[in-house]
Chains A and B, each alone.
Chain A
Amino acid sequence: MTNNSINQTDSAPLLEVKNLGVSFFTPRGTVRAVRDASLTVRRGEVVGLVGESGCGKSTVAFSIMGYLPGIVQVDGEILYDGKDLVGMDESELEALRGNRIAMVYQDPQTSLNPTMKIGPQMREVLKTHLDLGKQEIRSRAIELFESVGLASPDTIGERYPHELSGGMQQRVVIALALACEPDLLIMDEPTTGLDVTTEATILDLIVDLKDRVNAGILFVSHNLGVIARVADRVTVMYASQTVEDADVRNIFNSPQHPYTAGLLSCVPKPANELGITPRLKSIPGSVFEARLEAGNECLFAPRCPIAHDQCTQNAPEISDADGHQVRCFFPDEVTSDIWGELKPRRDFESEDDAVVIEANDLNVRYRSRQGKKYILFGDEAQPPVRAVVDASFKVTKSRTLGIVGESGSGKSTTARALIGLTQKSSGSMLLNGDELETDSANRSDDQRADLRMVFQNPTASLNPKLPIKHAITRSLKLFGNFDNQGAYDEARALLEAVGLNPDYIERIPSELSGGEQQRVALASAFAANPKAILADEAVSALDVSVQAQVLNLLLRNQQENETSFVFISHDLGVVRYVSDDIMVMYAGHVAEQGPADAVLSSPSHPYTEALLSAAPEPDPDATPSIIRLDGAVPTMRERFTGCFFADRCHRKIDQRCDEIEPPAQSVNSSNHIIRCHIPIDQLVSQS
């Protein structure tokens, strides 16, 4: 195919999806995964496709690739370069796929063959689609590895996928997709499984690629921050329809569909000019069910704050005004206030500074099991892993300590040591001034009643075989002096308090959605009014609208019951929203800790600085800061010397960093502490 003709008419769309509909026929009925989706991708442009899970984003992406199972009905048109892909026969599609249209998947681990070295995988793709000699293929492969920013591109082909970090794997997958210089690149949540610092480097790569390769990119993501960072245009999907399509700035600054406006107001943002963090608004209800037959109505009407009678009597069509397309009868009524007025995050400040949770020099070490379990075989080959090193912190009454860091930084281990699921190796933990036993089995009922935990994965934290009432009534009966009937009634009240129908009490977990399951987990943590709750990535698995609901529930509970929280998340935006104090952890060490405002502003630890600059902000006009970290969090073992962050630090000074443990420096003798060799006055941000 010659690209010249297309280059000249730059405005002609490369891909045009028109009124796409996809139905799956399943034994349990027809599923309308996509009802009416339209979008356009031009060359040299990144189009972001955004929406909550279950809105049909991925199905649109897969339809373009032609990856749909047999029992499916596709209506509408998918015009690629003027040719309709719907109904095209398999051999023609195969010639396009991988060659002219390439796809990057969410999980790089499953897109790479684990038994093949990287080089041969790349050469295979090149051989299949391009007519090149052996030497040419070799040099082309190296060129491609170089173009996606892989270090030592000439030797990386000799390595197996498992020898690479997640970020490097995703770079390899992108290089594979670029192999044949495709015209259209489809990326389905390409950074979702990655750490925030790695995500930032991959997003940089995508922005850079957009300028270098003359291709159109369709970027599917649920993360508005990521979309704002890479996209030129944005298409918003809701309940299997596209509802808005516009330039990225128009979408973020003046959304015209109430759903888009709602999504935007669910994302935690930094404090405004007055220093007030606005309270998150949330979208009530849940996404319109794909199994149901849509009547003649707007599918968003049941959740819409500005719905009129017309919205339930007629289905709105996409209308276009100056390139801003929206599926709404009343786009002019959409303002930033329709989802509720601007309110501060919470309307109280705690005066009581009684310490609820306290940890002093908490250490957790993991030993390898071998050599202990089977007495006769195997020595301990490696020294123990230092999962948490000398962590000291206090959480006072009705305040929240946020712990933030990448995966492998020891955040979860800290919480697990506090709740007694992982054994601490030294240091002390106190609850209301009383020593907490290492093992939860040895703690008193009072302590267990006062300290609870909410886990990351709501589906896994509820027994799939038991009705949800068990999870809630259990703690009520244990700690709250309730009899069976009393516990049952109280459990219904708790369900109602977390915004669930009390009749759900007899259901088993698989009959609830992920967000509903997490609310059940919250209800059971709130039962019998604990003094403190540990929330380990409690909102990470949830969609933004549900995440906002859950965060607000937590804050409301804190306000009503004076609960203290330890809130753990890798998402800096969420931690910033809920926390009074923040502790930044890296490889088991506390890099920086102190009041939230102080930690998030200058001066800060180089690692905090890198985390802050990596966090994607939902603002297309934000200038991305350039501090980037390569590699992954190392595993800290015993007999380690020097600074924990020295390997990846962008501000490493000299020998000291490799040899001496960094001192804990206090900023202006306050409780804001930074562990770094660089003097405080030089840690003030240069930008």
Chain B
Amino acid sequence: MNQPPVVNQSREPALYLNRNVNPPLLVAILKSGGRFIKRYPLGAIGGVTIILLVLMAIVPQLFTPLATQTSDHVIGVHIKDRFLSPNSTAWFGTNGLGRDMYARLIYGARTAIMIGFGAVLLGKTLSTTLGIASAFLGGWTDVILQRFVEVFQSIPTILFLIIAVVAFEPKIPDFGPLSSDMLIIVICVSIDTGFQSSRTVRGVALALREETYVEAAVSLGATNTRIMRQHILPNLFQYVIVSASLFVGSAVLLESVLSFLGYGVQPPNPSWGRELNDAREELARYPHLAFFPGLFIFLTVWSFNMFGDALRDKLDPRLRGTS
């Protein structure tokens, strides 16, 4: 029975009377950033952490001025310096091969972020394309695509990834900054999420297609292509953005899990999951070896989730509580 009172929310023409007096762009951005921090403090913390992680990936020299990805104490072997506890030179200690953990984790961010963003970019493009195609072409295309989606939904993700990585890795070349072991993870994770989340995109697109403004366009003779471009994509965009920002965390986690199991990023490339795996055998004696990679993974996943949640609440409050 307890309904909230109806306040005049929807009509606010007077509020926009001053709309022509736009503040300068920078001020506007700062202002809206300030509002975001105030309304979604957790999301803002997540956002700041994400910026730090991206910085680590692009310019790791800012964080470890001495190391480069191939420098000796990152990928070399130093028997004398094995299993050092955290100290003033190696802040997070060293691992079983005497490599500096701090530097390796900073460079691991590059791996994690590249794979995370890469998988999301490719995966969401795929899911949006498949979802819209399924919704608009209908008929047999729809039936067949949806059966594929069901196949992907019924295979455990990790199992699929392990099989696919093992089967295809030898056939994949390096691609720019992505080495073949990273590229294969990106591709397999994208295919999996692309199919799985295309079903939700299809649902949203089907709902949008029933909107009156789409019918209005149809009655004026708009083609399917035009409707997709003008009416469906712009309205689908916020949904895709939100689900993408939420998925980066999952992709990073998947990479860590794969590397932990030994199927992911191959040594000597730094990877948080691989670092965790290396720490496994000496966990009782040197817990710091597991603690720091675990912390990085946790922070990354948490940040993307918090930021994604806040973004969803801001862009489309109706989706609150859904994933």
Which residues of A are interface residues toward B (Cβ below 8 A)? 24, 26-28, 31, 33, 53-54, 56, 58-59, 62-63, 67-69, 98, 103, 105, 110-111, 286-287, 289-292, 374, 419-421, 440-441, 443, 445, 448, 452-453, 455-457, 460-466, 470-471, 474-475, 478, 503, 507, 511-514, 516
With beta carbons under 8 angstroms apart, the residue of B8, B221, B235 that contacts A448 is B221
Please give, as numbers and ranges, the residues of chain B lying within 8 Å of A98 by CB-CB distance. 1
Q: Which of B1-60 contact A (CB under 8 A)?
A: 1-8, 10-16, 19-20, 39
Interface-central residue, B6, B10, B16, by most chain A CB under 10 Å: B6
Contact across chains for A445 and B5 when beta carbons are under 8 A apart: no
- Asked if A421 and B235 make an inter-chain contact with CB atoms under 8 angstroms apart, the answer reads no
Question: Which residues of A sit under 8 angstroms from B3, Cβ to Cβ?
Answer: 62, 67, 105, 110
B138's nearest neighbour on chain A, judged by CB, is: A373
- Which partner residue on chain B sits nearest A72 by CB separation? B5
A474 to B226 Cα, complex, angstroms: 12
- Is B167 an interface residue, CB under 8 A from the partner? no
Known: A103-B1, A374-B143, A460-B211. 19 other contacts (CB 8 A): A59-B5, A62-B3, A62-B5, A69-B4, A69-B5, A98-B1, A286-B11, A291-B15, A419-B219, A421-B215, A441-B221, A441-B223, A455-B212, A463-B234, A471-B213, A478-B220, A511-B13, A511-B16, A516-B13
CB B296 to nearest CB in A, in angstroms, measures: 35
CB contact between B13 and one of A53, A56, A289, A453 (< 8 Å): that residue = A289
Q: Which residues of A contact B172 (CB under 8 A)?
A: none
For B5, list chain A residues within 8 Å (CB): 33, 58-59, 62-63, 67-69
Query: What residues of chain A lie closer than 8 Å to B20, measured between beta carbons?
Result: 503
Q: Which residues of A contact B2 (CB under 8 A)?
A: 67
CB of B116, distance to nearest CB on chain A (Å): 28
- Ordered by A's residue number, 17 sampled pairs between the chains whose C-beta atoms are within 8 Å are A28-B15, A33-B8, A67-B5, A69-B5, A286-B13, A292-B14, A420-B218, A421-B219, A441-B221, A441-B223, A445-B221, A455-B215, A455-B216, A457-B212, A463-B235, A471-B213, A514-B10
Return the 8 tightest CB-CB contacts between A and B, nearest first.
A289-B14, A62-B5, A460-B212, A513-B11, A54-B8, A465-B234, A461-B212, A463-B213
Residues of B within 8 A of A474 (CB): 217, 220
Q: Evaluate contact between A448 and B220: CB separation under 8 angstroms.
A: yes
Residues from chain B with Cβ under 8 Å of A440 in the complex: 218-219, 221
B234 CB contacts on chain A under 8 angstroms: 463, 465-466
How many contacting A-B pairs (Cβ < 8 A)?
Answer: 114
Number of interface residues of B (CB under 8 A): 35
Instruction: Say yes or no for B64: interface residue by CB 8 A criterion.
Output: no
Q: Which residues of A contact B218 (CB under 8 A)?
A: 420-421, 440-441
Chain A residues within 8 Å of B217, by CB: 474
Q: Is B157 an interface residue (CB 8 A)?
A: no
Complex: how many Å from CA A441 to CA B3? Answer: 45
What CA separation (Å) do A452 and B20 show in the bound complex? 33
Query: Which of A67, A287, A443 touches B4 (beta carbons < 8 Å)?
Result: A67
Q: Which residues on A sit within 8 Å (CB–CB) of B1? A: 98, 103, 111
User: Which A residues touch B10, using CB under 8 A?
Assistant: 513-514
Complex CA distance for A663 and B234, rounded to whole angstroms = 52
- The CA-CA distance from A456 to B215 in the complex, in Å, is 12
With both beta carbons as reference points, the residue of chain B lying nearest to A536 in the complex is identified as B212
A53 to B231 alpha-carbon distance, docked (Å): 30
Q: In the complex, A127 Cα to B151 Cα: how many Å?
A: 53
| Distance, CA A466 to CA B230, complexed state (A) | 9
Distance between B199 CB and nearest chain A CB, rounded to angstroms: 16
Once bound together, how far apart are the Cα atoms of A292 and B218, in whole Å?
A: 41
* A62-B4 Cα distance, complex, nearest whole Å: 8
**A26→B9 CA distance, assembly (Å):** 11
Contact B13 A31 (CB under 8 A): no
Docked pose: A58 CA to B7 CA in angstroms: 8
Q: Do residues B219 and A448 form an inter-chain contact, with CB atoms below 8 A?
A: yes
C-alpha gap A463/B39 in the complex (Å)? 28
B242 to chain A, nearest CB (A): 15
| B125 smallest CB distance to A (angstroms) | 20
**Distance, CA A420 to CA B220, complexed state (A):** 10
Give chain B residues whose Cβ lies under 8 Å from the Cβ of A24: 7
Partner of B8, one of A63, A103, A290, A441: A290
A453 in contact with B219 given A460-B213, A466-B234, A511-B16 (CB within 8 Å): yes
Q: Which of B218-267 contact A (CB under 8 A)?
A: 218-221, 223, 230-231, 234-235, 237
B128 CB to nearest A CB, Å: 16
Q: Which residue of A lies closest to B8 (CB)?
A: A54
Contacts of B7 in A (CB 8 A): 24, 26, 31, 33, 59, 290
Tell me the bound Cα distance from A453 to B213 in angstroms: 11
Distance, CA A30 to CA B149, complexed state (A)? 49
Known interface pairs A68-B5, A448-B221, A463-B235. Does A289 touch B12 (Cβ–Cβ under 8 Å)?
yes
Query: Quick one: which of A56, A69, A463, A516 contacts B231, CB cutoff 8 A?
Result: A463
Residue of B nearest to A521 (CB): B216
Is the Cβ of A478 less than 8 Å from the Cβ of B221? yes
A514 surroundings in chain B (CB, below 8 A): 10-11
**Interfacial chain B residues near A374, Cβ < 8 Å:** 143
Q: Which residue of A lies closest to B39 (CB)?
A: A27
